[in-house]
Structure 1
Amino acid sequence: MPVDDVMPDHTLQPLKTLAEQLPGLLFQLHRSPGGHMHFPYLVGSGRRLLGVAPERLAGDASLAFEQLDETDYPRWMASIERSARWQTPLMGKFRLSTREGHDRWIAVRAQPEEVESGTLWHGIMLDISEQVAEEERLRLLSDTDSLTGLANRRKLLQRLDEEISLSNRHALPLSLVILDLDHFKHINDSWGHLKGDDVLINLAHYIRDLLRREDFLGRLGGEEFALVLPLTARGNAENLAERLRERIAAHDFALEDGKITVSMGIAEHRVGEDRNRLLERADSNLYAAKHQGRNQVVASR
């Protein structure tokens, strides 16, 4: 039953004082057999955590739940339903969309209790927005090439593995393009590594802006990049790569003695083929493009 109904004021006040030190809320959530929910008890330093005055939530919990992110709302309602039906703990995290347009992340842990009037949860809510933001920052750092801002080698290979799995499972076309900047050592030797870095950054951004939404670009290392092209057979991959090569060769990258060019090797995925073999074939075609004079595209099945 609600805390206020069983605890005298002189006992309840110390609990409220302690709760005010929490970065969140202590709560009771009641759900009637008909599905109506309200918060009979809500106390803590984050009394505005849910974006609605506690007095209003005492009558209608949906005022808070309707602010849930649209992808979280059905999941969270299903979690409440399961917890009530099986009397299992209610645990998880969800996002509230604030009026300022930001997401506020809230973690919940609560224990249900069957009562005469329905189900009563006793639990805690904590604002974990800063923790989630820090986790996302660290994830991006682990996935991102620090120089170009593209996916790094680890993330690129992870995405390639995912697309290979889809290709194998559903017999979908998939192509891989490995792209290498021609005469990059000359750029570094002539203008220094800072200028070389500048060229890599500008090239990465230029290529990214020319790609389709479904294409995935990452940096393999040095002056070498890779394009993962889902739902793309060899012929279409060649056409895309050739357009890229022409556009790059014509673009002004602010080099004093001329333009830059790239060489590309393409391999279309074979059903059952693993990542290493696909990379080897694309790399072999890149080597052929370099050997045949650079500034060209070489492809194979």
Structure 2
Amino acid sequence: MTKTCPRCGASVDESALSCPRCHAALDVTQRMSLSDATWCPSCGALVAPGSRTCPKCGASLASPSPSRARRDLDLPEIGATGELFGLGAEDSERTGVMTRIESAIPPADGASSPAAPEDRMPKTRSLLLAALLAVLVVGGAALLITHPWDPSATQTRATTPADTSLSGFPGEVKELTGQDSSQGGDTQDGEGSATPEEELASAYATLGDLSGRVDESEQALRAACEDVSGADFAAGLEEAQAVSIEVSNLISQVELVSGADEGDVENLLTLGNWLRNRCDALTAAWELGSSASDASSEVSSMLSGADTSAEYGRLFDQSYDGWDPAA
């Protein structure tokens, strides 16, 4: 069987996929023209042209309604406006005659059109003003940054050379900081060393001196309690604290002595502890008077501290002469 090529009309084998003559594709879906087709209004089946009944459902096919009559108004075609000028007075009054309406606003010419290129260009004065402002701003900023009138205003480097001839030289060091020269070890010549007995004798004498200073602090405290208004409790507290620190340091030095008689060391430590107890009692009493808003209300407590100091003072005085390590 053969089929017809839709492009050139040549007879082509039914199994061919393209026309051997015009090479048109034959395996694509073809469009059918349905401009003259008729459908049944009842079942929608396609009916052959000219049929009066539907071959599927048997319904009668009504004839198409006649076209509506139109009145010929003899209107001019759009664009043929020249014909309007030839119409007379009678024609202008006829219905349907289109008269030409012209705008009363005159058309804009090219010179004043908003789209004209010269209307969008800035004026020469604006350009010059913008250029002048740009020069002023940029030039002023450059002068502010560089300030040529004082170029060294922002310099951070030194302009005067430093003397580095002694850089890193610590100077002459004869003795290290914190070095204890009194308890130093034996030197090559044996100079500067002290025996344990000499160290105990020195500590014994220092205890006597410190005891005298504690006695003075106790007497000053009793005098301050008698005249509270004129007493300087802050100065008394400072002196008592200083003596207490010296007593504690002396006790620490005695504890470090080695090679001496243990009995003498114990005696000096006992004297030092009694003296430190006196200092603690006096320091507490002076603190009461210094911190109290009304020192007269703390007189009894301060006198109690002085009495405690006196008790340890009697113990110290009774044993001091008999516990001399040099005796």
TM-score range, shorter chain: under 0.3
- Greater relative CO (CA pairs within 8 A, separation 6+): 1
**TM-score, length-scaled by structure 1:** 0.18
Bigger-Rg structure (1/2): 2
**TM-score, length-scaled by structure 2:** 0.17
Query: Which has the larger strand fraction?
Result: 1
